[in-house]
Structure 1
Amino acid sequence: MSKYLNILIAILVISCNSTEITKSMVDTKTFVLDPTENNKIPISEVIEEVIFLPLETTNESLIGDIHSVKYFNNKYFIQDRDKVLCFNADGTFLSKLGSFGSGPDQYSSCDQFIIDEINGYLMINNQRTGMELLMYDSTLQFLSKRKYNDPLESIIPIDGKGFCFYFGNRNSESHKHYVKTLDNDLNFKDNFIEKSFTIDHSITSPFHGSYSYQNKAYVYPMFENVIYEVDMEGYSLKYRFDFGNYTITEEFLKSIEGLSSRDQMFALKESKYIYNIDRIFESDRWIYFQYYSGTEGMHTVLFNKELDKIYDTRGFTHMPDFGMMSLMYGMDGDDIYYTLDPNLLHGTSEEAVNFQKFILSKNEPIRKLKDKTENGDNPILVIAKLKSN
C-alpha cells in the first residue's frame, strides 16, 4: 500500500430532512493518510521564497494573540484576541477596525473577523457578549450593527447573497443542524446538515470549523473528518479524510455521548482515533489542513491539487531554511502566512538561545532582522511563497 492514496469517489448522493440538495451528484475527493507513516515530504520543499515583513509597533498597534491573518485591498488585517489591526503592504500601521466598548458602533469582543469580498464588507463577530455582527466598508468606516439570535461557531459569506451560520457541536435541540443560511439582512432562509450524534461542543476549538473559498462556505464539523461545501441552495460533501483504522467511528462517538465533557475529552485522547481536522485554508492550487494524532502530535499537511501530491510535517512547523514558525494563520493564493516572534532573536530563554544558534548562523535575512527589531516588538509576518509547479 502506497504512503498516500488519493482516490475519487464519484456520484455521492446526500440528503437532509429539511431541504433537498440541488447538487445531488458530486465528486468527493478522499484523502487517505497513514498517521503512523514517518517518511513524509517536508513542506519546505515547496517553498520558493520567504519574505519577512516586520509589522510596525506603536502604542495603538500592539499585537498579542494572533487569531488570523488576511490580505484584502493591498492591506494586511491581523485579528488579535479583541481587535483587528490593519497594516499597509509594507508593514506600516494604518488603523484599527472599529473601537472597543459598548456604544452603538462599538464591540466588546472580537471573536471572528470576516471579509465579504463581493460586497466589499469587513465584519467583526461580537459573539461572547452581544451576538452582533458589525459591518464596515472597505475604507474601514462603520456601517451598521446587526443582531442574531443563537450562539454559533462561525459566520461565512456566500456569493455576496447571504451568510452561512455554522453552529458546530452543540447539545441543544434547537441546534440539531450544523448550518443555517441567512440573507444579507440576517433573515433566516434554511437549515442544512442535520446532526446524527452529539458531543459537547465545549471540548472543541471555536471558530476553526469553517473557511471561505471562491465566495462559498466550507464547514468541517468536529469528529466527522469531512468538509461540506455550502451555498444558499444546499450543500454537498466536498472532501473526506480516511485515516484507515485511525478514522473515528460513529459507534465510538455514540459510546461516549453520555459522558461529561471532561471524560469525553479523556476518552478521545486515549483512543487511537484522529478526531479533529483543524485550521483549513484553500486556494486554487493548494489545500492546507492540520489534524491531531494522540501519539504523533500535530500533523500539518499541504496538498497540491494540480499534482495530486501531499506534503506533511510533524509537530509545529520547523523549517531550517528560513526559521522556526508557529501555526499558519492564513493563505492568499500561493502565499501562506506564519509569524516569527522577535523575542526569539533577542531573548535569553532556552528556546530563544537554541533558535539563535540554529538559525542566525545560517540565515542572512533573519540575521538582518535582529538589527531592525527589539524585544517587545510586534510579530514579524512571514510570507512563504509556494512554488508554481
Structure 2
Amino acid sequence: MRIVKYYRNINPKRYGIILLMTTLLLASSCHQQQTFLDSVPIDIVNKHNPIQIDIYDIVDSISYIPLETSNNCLLGDIQCVKKDDDVFFVKDIKGIFVFDKEGRFKNEIGRRGNGPGEYFYIDNFYLDRKNKLVCLIFNAKKQILQYDYDGNYVSTLHFDENDMNIESVMMCGEDEFLAYYPLPNDVFHGDSEYRRFKKKESMLVSDKIMDAKKLTSKKTFYPFLYFPMISFDNQYFFISVFSNKIYKYEDGKVQPAYYIDIPNLIPSGAFLEEHKDTDFFELMKIMKQNEIGTGILALEASLDYLFALVDKNTLIWDKEKGILISHTYNSNLNLYSSILVGGASDEHIGSLSASFFYENKGDIKRGKDEMLSMLADTLSDEDNPVLYQYYFKKNLVELLVEKYEL
C-alpha cells in the first residue's frame, strides 16, 4: 500500500475627596482591564472581505493514505477518523477499525453484541492517548467502554442517567474530560451544554460547567456545533451555541478567552427573547431572512494555527492576526472544501471516498500532481476511502496578507 505525500497644597477635606475619587477610578480601571484581558478580540485583517484561496496557498504538502480494501474490512461512509502517532482509528456505522501509517488494516476495536465488553451501537469515541485507550461512548447503557489499541476490551466506565446524551468528548487532564451535549429536546431534557467528568474507580462523576441555552430542537437530536472543543497552545478551548466567544477551560473553571467582533454574527438577546417559543429550525430560518449569523460553529487546531468556522467562513488565526476565508479550493482535486471538514489535526483526519477519485479521474489526471494521478488510476469505485492530512506553511497569515494585498 502506498502513501502519496505532498510537500508561523490642598485642604485635608478636599484631599480626602480626591483620594477617594482616585481610588475608585483606579479600581474601575483595574476592573475594566481585567475584563478586557479575560476576553480579547481576535484581530481579523479582512473581517468585511473574506477571500477565496487555493489550499496550496497555506499548505506545504498533503498526505493521502488509501486504506487497504479486504474482506476483513469493507468500510461504508466514514463518520470520523482520529490519529495517534502513526495509527489511524476509523469509525463508520459498523464499528471502529484500525489502520497503520501505510493504510494497512490492523484490527477492529471490540465487537458487536450484548455481552460484557461488547456493544451494539457507538454514539462516538475518543482517544485516551496517554494510556493508549480507545473509549467508546455508549449512551443507551450509560457506559464508556475502553479498549487497548489492539482492540482488546479493558474496562467499563459508568455514568449517571442524568449524564446521558453525550455528543463528544475532549480529554483535559489525567482521568478528566469535558463533554458536549446537543440542544435540549423533548426526549432529553438536558440542563447542560458542557459538563466536566472525573473518574472515581469505575464511575464517572460530573459537574456542570455551562448551562444549556434556552433553545429547543423539539423532538430532533441536533448537536448544532460540529467540532465544539480543541486543545491549542497547551490550553483547552470550546464554543457555545449562538456565540461569538471562544471559552477557555482551566482547573475546573471556565471563562471567555477571545471573541470575534463581526456585526450581525449572532442574534441579540432581545431577538432571542422575542422568539423564545419558536422551534429552533424555524428560528434559524427567521435569522437567515434577517441576515443574522449563527456564530462560531466549529473549532480546529494545528500546531501553529487555530481555525474557526464563523457562520459560513473559516477563520485562520496565528495567535496574533486572523484572516477570513470564504472558500478553499484544491486545484489538484478540482474540489472546494472547508479546512474544517477534516485534515487539519490528528483529532479530525480528513477522508475522501474512492468513488470520488474514480469518478473524477479525468480532472485529477489533468492536474499538476503526477503521484495523485497515479493514485486515482489505482482505485476502483468500490475500494475503501482515502485519508488525508494537511501540513501547513509557517507564517501563512503573513503570506496571505501579502499575496492578497490585505
TM-score band by shorter chain is: 0.7 to 0.9
What residue number does 2:382 align with?
Answer: 376
What residue number does 1:12 align with?
Answer: 35
Distance 2:282 2:224 in 1: 19
Tell me, yes or no, if structure 1 residue 169 matches structure 2 residue 178.
no
Letter in 2 for 1:50: I
Q: Deviations over 1:136-161 (max 9, x none)?
A: 23443211222322323322222123
What residue number does 2:278 align with?
Answer: 259
Structure 1: unaligned runs, 5 residues or longer: 1-8, 14-24, 293-297
Are the counterparts in 1 of residues 166 and 180 from structure 2 also a CA contact under 8 Å? yes
Letter in 1 for 2:330: M
What residue number does 1:346 align with?
Answer: 358
Letter in 2 for 1:12: T
What residue number does 2:105 align with?
Answer: 93
Pick from 124, 129, 133 the counterpart of residue 121 of structure 1: 133
SS in 2 for 1:244: coil
SS in 2 for 1:284: coil
Pick from 258, 262, 268 the counterpart of residue 249 of structure 1: 268
Aligned ranges for residues 192-341 of structure 1 at < 5 Å? 192-195=209-212, 197-200=214-217, 202=220, 204-205=222-223, 208-213=226-231, 217-292=236-311, 298-305=312-319, 308-310=321-323, 312-314=325-327, 317-324=328-335, 326=337, 328-332=341-345, 337-341=349-353
Structure 2: unaligned runs, 5 residues or longer: 1-31, 396-406
Distance 2:149 2:126 in 1: 12
Q: Deviations over 1:197-228 (max 9, x none)?
A: 33438474467352241676533121123222
Are the counterparts in 1 of residues 177 and 198 from structure 2 also a CA contact under 8 Å? yes
Aligned ranges for residues 133-172 of structure 1 at < 5 Å? 133-148=144-159, 149=161, 150=163, 151-170=165-184
Q: 1:194 to 1:205 in 2, by over 3 A?
A: closer
Q: Deviations over 1:60-102 (max 9, x none)?
A: 3223222322211320112223422111011111111111222
Tell me, yes or no, if structure 1 residue 388 matches structure 2 residue 394.
yes
Aligned ranges for residues 63-78 of structure 1 at < 5 Å? 63-78=75-90
Letter in 1 for 2:153: F
Identity of aligned residues (%): 20
RMSD (Å) for aligned C-alpha atoms: 3.1
Runs ≥4 in structure 1, deviation > 4 angstroms? 31-36, 40-43, 171-174, 214-217
Question: Structure 1 stretch 241-250 or stretch 95-104: which is displaced more?
Answer: 241-250
Are the counterparts in 2 of residues 53 and 380 from structure 1 also a CA contact under 8 Å? yes
Are the counterparts in 2 of residues 81 and 111 from structure 1 also a CA contact under 8 Å? no
What residue number does 2:372 align with?
Answer: 366
In the TM superposition, what is the alpha-carbon distance from 1:323 to its structure 2 partner? 4.7
Are the counterparts in 2 of residues 33 and 244 from structure 1 also a CA contact under 8 Å? no
Q: 1:265 to 1:308 in 2, by over 3 A?
A: closer
Distance 2:365 2:259 in 1: 41
Q: Which structure is larger by alpha-carbon Rg, 1 or 2?
A: 2
Structure with greater strand share of residues: 1
Are the counterparts in 2 of residues 43 and 311 from structure 1 also a CA contact under 8 Å? no
Letter in 2 for 1:211: M
Are the counterparts in 1 of residues 123 and 167 from structure 2 also a CA contact under 8 Å? no
In the TM superposition, what is the alpha-carbon distance from 1:384 to its structure 2 partner? 2.1
Letter in 1 for 2:382: G
TM-score by length of 1: 0.79
SS in 2 for 1:11: helix
In the TM superposition, what is the alpha-carbon distance from 1:123 to its structure 2 partner? 0.6
Are the counterparts in 2 of residues 166 and 180 from structure 1 also a CA contact under 8 Å? yes
Distance 1:271 1:242 in 2: 19
Task: Report the count of equivalent residues.
Answer: 353
In the TM superposition, what is the alpha-carbon distance from 1:40 to its structure 2 partner? 4.5
SS in 2 for 1:143: strand
Question: Structure 1 stretch 72-81 or stretch 264-273: which is displaced more?
Answer: 264-273
Are the counterparts in 2 of residues 277 and 289 from structure 1 also a CA contact under 8 Å? yes
